[in-house]
Amino acid sequence: MKTFQVPISYRSPLISAVKEKRRMADKMKKDFSPTLLDFGPVRIYLARHFGFCYGVENAIDIAFRTISENPEKNIFLLSEMIHNPQVNEDLQNQGIRFLQNPNGEQLISFDDLQPGDIVITPAFGTSLEIDAILKSKDIHTEQYNTTCPFVEKVWNRSGQIADKNFTVIIHGKPGHEETRATFSRAASGGPALVIRDMEEARLLAAFIRHDRDPASFFKIFRDRYSKGFDPSRHLERIGVVNQTTMLASETQGIADFLKQEIRNHHSRKGQPDESVFADTRDTLCYATNDNQSSVSSLLQTPADLAIVVGGYNSSNTSHLVELCEQRLPTYFISSEKKILSKEEILHFDLHQQQEISGTRYLKGNKPLNILLTCGASCPDAIVEAVITRLTGFFANSLSVEEMLQQILTSSQSHPGI
């Protein structure tokens, strides 16, 4: 498997040892049970899979290598490399400037770019329209393209089904960089539409059945359909792809629902046809699946609370939080710095979309059981720092260094270390 050069500051001796031990015991990655780190008065259960995925490591490798190989050039990123504040701050400290913010708002005008400048495409990819602007300025991004290969897989699959006259339905967050890029490419090949969730899938089904006035479609899905979209014609044959960081189960649920709706529609017309829905299961990202499956297994463990670490604008991380919130008190933090004391934690509330203060969060059984995971763009070093911070509040707790030595010397097989 390809390896990447990632700054050592993002690595963690503890987390690396845990991951290697699990990898050796489960090379086929079929065991999603958590890893127990028993520090004595506090026990931390780590999700089986978490942290940097292939696409993120690839993007970081290219970005930092570009910096080291081009010390005299202006280097820009189209937008945030990944949705992790530490990584983006590190890149800016190295001299990289962002052309846009995550919402697509311009920070530096494309008119300021000069031939010879370097523009890095982030892991989310970019739209055909922005590609065209850069090419018109004689700026070529091929060498500096960090688009995740699994995002490109979605683009390719969208193109394939569009070529067969299917309308591409994209399950994603409409403002997200990846969804904007996928929509741009899907819309270049035929009709395309972005839907946010199952609620919008149900609204869409009414147009598939011709139960609603087509004119209302354009208000409901404003700014999310391709040019010339005609709901009376373009919802007769569809296929569903997704923003790769969405909940895999939700994407599959939406696809199954719309598949049944469109087949029922054709059956009522006396035209039952198996070819009215395109099979697109293979667009689900492996890392998203693994991380979400790991959290589902993690939640089978009795615990007092869960902590999820990652960027607050990280889509894949937010879905891990949603899964945990269904079962127990959950705290979404960006780093160990948000753990202010044993009594107070600053955490992000997905519903209020703001950071709030939580008090007496470390309450429960003795020993205290904590479930811990992070998003695909969170460095392992931050996870270790969170563990160090938490265990430091408990007298007679093992240190992280002592736990590392136990892992390195123990012959005990998983799930305990």
* Start-to-end CA span in the chain (Å): 26
| Global pTM value | 0.92
Cα distances (Å, whole numbers) of residue 159 to 15, 29, 208 = 39, 31, 22
Side-by-side strand order, sheet with 277-278: 192-195, 167-171, 238-242, 277-278
Calculate ∠ Cα 156-161-164, nearest 5°: 135
Q: Are 262 and 238 in contact (CB under 8 A)?
A: yes
Answer yes or no: are the C-beta atoms of 99 and 110 closer than 8 Å. Answer: yes
| Closest by CA position to 55, among listed 382, 375, 384, 318 | 375
Tens of pLDDT along 144-199? 999 999 999 999 999 999 999 999 999 999 999 999 999 999 999 999 999 999 99
Angle at which helix 149-163 crosses helix 177-187, to 10 degrees, equals 30
The reply to whether 149-243+246-284 shares the fold of 54-144 is no
Residue 413: its pLDDT value, please?
47
Residue 178 annotated as catalytic: yes
What does the pLDDT look like over 115-130, one tens digit per residue? 999 999 999 999 999 9
CATH architecture under which domain 8-53+287-409 falls: 3-Layer(aba) Sandwich (3.40)
**Candidate CATH numbers 3.40.50.300, 3.40.1010.20, 1.10.645.10, 3.40.50.2300; the one for domain 149-243+246-284:** 3.40.1010.20
Residue 185 burial (CB count, 10 A): 23
Q: Give residues with Cβ within 8 angstroms of 194, minimum separation 6.
A: 170, 172, 174, 179, 183, 221, 224, 225
Nearest residue to 38 via CA among 317, 411, 329, 407: 407
Domain ranges of the chain: 8-53+287-409, 54-144, 149-243+246-284
Tally the residues of the chain.
417
- Judge whether residue 412 has pLDDT over 60: no
Structure tokens, 118: 């370097």
Q: What is the pLDDT, as a whole number, of residue 416?
A: 46
Q: At residue 415, does pLDDT exceed 50?
A: no
Report the C-alpha gap between 366 and 43 in whole angstroms: 9
Averaged pLDDT score across all residues of the chain: 94
Query: Over the stretch 203-254, which tens digit does the pLDDT of each residue have?
Result: 999 999 999 999 999 999 999 999 999 999 999 999 999 999 999 889 999 9
Q: What's the pLDDT band for 84 if we cut at 50, 70, 90? A: very high
The amino acid at 53? C
Average pLDDT over residues 391-405: 96
How confident is the model at residue 271, as a pLDDT? 66
CATH 3.40.50.11270, applies to 54-144: yes
Distance CA 75, CA 93 (A): 12
In terms of Cα–Cα distance, which of 57, 128, 63 is closest to 94? 63
Q: How far apart are CA 151 and CA 388, in angstroms?
A: 35
Distance CA 207, CA 221 (A): 12
**Is residue 401 scored above 60 in pLDDT?**
yes
Residue of 57, 80, 177, 178 marked catalytic = 178
